[in-house]
Structure 1
Amino acid sequence: MKDIYHADFVRQLFNSMSASYERMNFITSFGFSLLWRKQFIDKVGYDNSQVEVLDLLSGLGENWTTLIKRFPNGNFQAVDFSEIMYNKSQVKNFKKFGNRFTVHKQDILESKLPSEKFDIVTCAFGLKTFNDKQIEIFAFTLKRILKDNGRFSFIEVSTPTNKVLLTFYRFYLKHCIPFLGKIFLGNPSDYKMLWLYTEKFENSRKVKEAFEKQGLIVDFNEYFFGCATGISGKKNNCTV
């Protein structure tokens, strides 16, 4: 069986889904993804100074409108390693955002981003594609690139703890989403992976633990009865 967490596998998966990913993300979350993006970015507050902002696993730039509203005078960077996602986001960056974002095509787990650079780091719906070891590397990388007192917020689709809701959600992601993927792409197999990743990920609690091991201050956040979870917090200036 293929390693579903290997960088090449994940990259190819998102290259394949890129044509319909934004639309399917909306459908997968019952339309809540737009609200969740706003809510999780709200966790890092508002700042009209020239803060350094980084959007990780940035996909098609779905977070960028909200980030600009929250940080109107910010300097923005983004990272994604899917070639097609990168190319599409660059077009959006030019047409919609006037090239306000500097977008890097690189694997964040092998990041060349400068240390102690960023005041704000965000990431939406990418954590589930990391295994436990990769999450530890991710936590170390975040600590390295954040400035002292730098803030972060991440969100991920999760498995709710309510059994009735979980049964419905499992059926929806496991069966309905691949069917819709077949309608949009003619290929349901890619979208079957979304449930597999979500089922293995469960929720963001293990991410919280990994980040706390790095000395980061971390809060656990739930959205819509646990259908999405996330973490938010900051790098304490006493962190070593």
Structure 2
Amino acid sequence: MNLNLLDEESMQPSEPKPCNFFKGEDAVKKAKQLGLPDLELVRQAIMIGDADFRTNTYYNRARFIARWGKIGEQLALLLRHSDPAWVFHNDSQPRIENIAKKIQIIFMSGNIALGHADQIVSAHCEKGFMTLKNIKENQSTYDDETKLRTWILYFPSASHPAYKGIDIPTIPFEFAYPTSFVQNSKAEKISILPSNHTCRIAFEIDNTLPVKADPKPVLEPSDEIKPDDFDIQLVV
């Protein structure tokens, strides 16, 4: 596969592909069929990330990144105790991975199209090398059983109307399968937006529920012996 990330072909918008859109009970069935994570755990992770975000003030310049990190962290921790086949990786691009199911999931805030079948979903802000690489590998994944299929868990950005208006009863989120991308040719470094999702599975969170706080999950102690386990004193 051509992984020359700035080739002319990659920088051209590709033709839209048919997209299967699922919502309601059909979405629940499709998620189970594909082996995606427990939807209730995903809802909990997003709600906890939102609650943590609200405690950060305008002066915290990293509050948006922290929300993204909190949602991924919470989903990984919840899955760790309920379905250990899902493994969290924090290198390059944070993701959860299930080798048996040949699936990995990356996290990003989505645009205003979340939950709307007639609009084109993508990320709220541009992404970099690893997102581009995963999308390119998606183009041949079903022909190569050694590769993982990369799904994107899209949650609303903090600027989504669901967080601005009190009369919006639900918060949307989606699992989507990207097969192409739009390259920003004016950017000095790799800068893309996912596109051509061939499958979108849309869900909602009740926006009238009380905000959940971070439960601070306690990780199970490890039997591995590390240097920190020894009382090392400086001898003068």
Judging by fraction of residues, say which structure has more helix: 1
TM-score, normalised to structure 2, is 0.30
In our comparison, the structure showing a higher alpha carbon Rg is 2
Larger relative contact order (CA 8 Å, sep ≥ 6): 2
